[in-house]
Amino acid sequence: MRLILLGPPGAGKGTQAKMLSDYFGIPHISTGDILRAAVKEGTLLGVKAKEYMEKGLLVPDDLIMEIVKERLEKPDCEKGFVMDGFPRNLYQAEGLKKILEEKNIKLDAVINFDVPKEELIERFTGRRVCPSCGASYHIKYNPPLKENICDKCGSELIIRADDNRSTVEKRIEVYEKETMPLIEYYKNEGILISIDGTKSIDEVFKKLIGLLRGEIQ
């Protein structure tokens, strides 16, 4: 099974990617993880990427493509993979298409998680974390027993700096500009599956498996 997961930040791609990875016995490939792994391993490409990352710059598309290509050549990808957070734009999508064609590999599906903007904002801005023990909560979906107090250690909960509304809106704006065009791109390729990402984690996963196995349309 060879899959790509698309969707805005906070849509649940990472969670579903891990579950799909376990279910099908295929590696979960996220751009962030493979960049960090390449840097840690000190590969030639990793050293190049580190130079950009240390300066706080975005790693160029062409370098990311090379790192993705290197990752796909590892033995654990022979049975398939689930990509999360890649490709991010049309240039990367075209580059990935060429890499897969060279390897005579076809994607089985591209899954788009559809979640309204306001719900995404609510998911982020409602998050609370404990600065002492790292426990995480959500004021609506997973509230602490006592308001704003950690159940585990009693510390006062905080809002992470990047969970404020303006930061979240900017992240969604970047996604809409750069990544949303991929929905139409993969629709034209005939492999796009759109799924309602507002349902529970288990409901979304069950629907996904049914669609991928052709048990439901």
Q: From the candidates 171, 187, 199, 207, give the one annotated as an active-site residue.
A: 171
CA separation for the pair 195, 216 (Å, rounded): 12
**pLDDT surpassing 90 at residue 194:** yes
Q: What is the largest CA-CA distance in the chain?
A: 56
Q: From the candidates 71, 123, 127, 128, give the one annotated as an active-site residue.
A: 127
Asked if residues 28 and 17 have their Cβ atoms less than 8 Å apart, the reply is yes
Peptide bond into 87 cis (omega under 30): yes
Confidence of residue 90 (pLDDT cuts 50, 70, 90): very high
Asked, for residue 148, whether it belongs to a domain, the answer is no
Average pLDDT value over all residues in the chain: 93
Confidence of residue 216 (pLDDT cuts 50, 70, 90): low
Asked if residues 74 and 178 have their Cβ atoms less than 8 Å apart, the reply is no
Using only the alpha carbons of the chain, give its radius of gyration. 19
Q: What angle do CA 49, 52, 55 make, to 5 degrees?
A: 145
Q: Which domain holds residue 11?
A: 2-27+74-116+168-212
**pLDDT surpassing 80 at residue 182:** yes
Give the mean model confidence (pLDDT) for residues 37-47. Answer: 89
Asked, for residue 130, whether it belongs to a domain, the answer is no
Count: domains in the chain: 1
> What's the pLDDT score for residue 217?
59
Tokens of 118: 């306001």
Asked, for residue 161, whether it belongs to a domain, the answer is no
Task: Using alpha carbons, list the distances in angstroms from residue 56 to 87, 178, 179, 187.
Answer: 20, 20, 21, 34
13 catalytic per annotation: yes
Give the mean model confidence (pLDDT) for residues 117-133. Answer: 95
Asked if residues 2 and 81 have their Cβ atoms less than 8 Å apart, the reply is yes
Q: From the candidates 160, 165, 177, 206, give the one annotated as an active-site residue.
A: 160
CATH number at residue 12: 3.40.50.300
**pLDDT surpassing 90 at residue 2:** yes
Q: From the candidates 2, 13, 123, 128, give the one annotated as an active-site residue.
A: 13
Q: pLDDT tens digits for 136-176?
A: 999 998 999 999 999 999 999 999 988 989 999 999 999 99
Name the least confident of 30-34, 66-70, 101-105, 188-192: 30-34
128 catalytic per annotation: no
Asked if residues 33 and 71 have their Cβ atoms less than 8 Å apart, the reply is no
Task: Using alpha carbons, list the distances in angstroms from residue 141 to 124, 138, 160, 189, 207.
Answer: 11, 5, 17, 37, 21
36 catalytic per annotation: no
Q: From the candidates 2, 71, 88, 123, give the one annotated as an active-site residue.
A: 88
71 catalytic per annotation: no
**pLDDT surpassing 80 at residue 119:** yes
Asked, for residue 58, whether it belongs to a domain, the answer is no
123 catalytic per annotation: no
Task: Using alpha carbons, list the distances in angstroms from residue 183 to 71, 88, 112, 137.
Answer: 24, 11, 7, 32
Asked if residues 28 and 132 have their Cβ atoms less than 8 Å apart, the reply is no
Confidence of residue 35 (pLDDT cuts 50, 70, 90): confident
> What's the pLDDT score for residue 85?
85
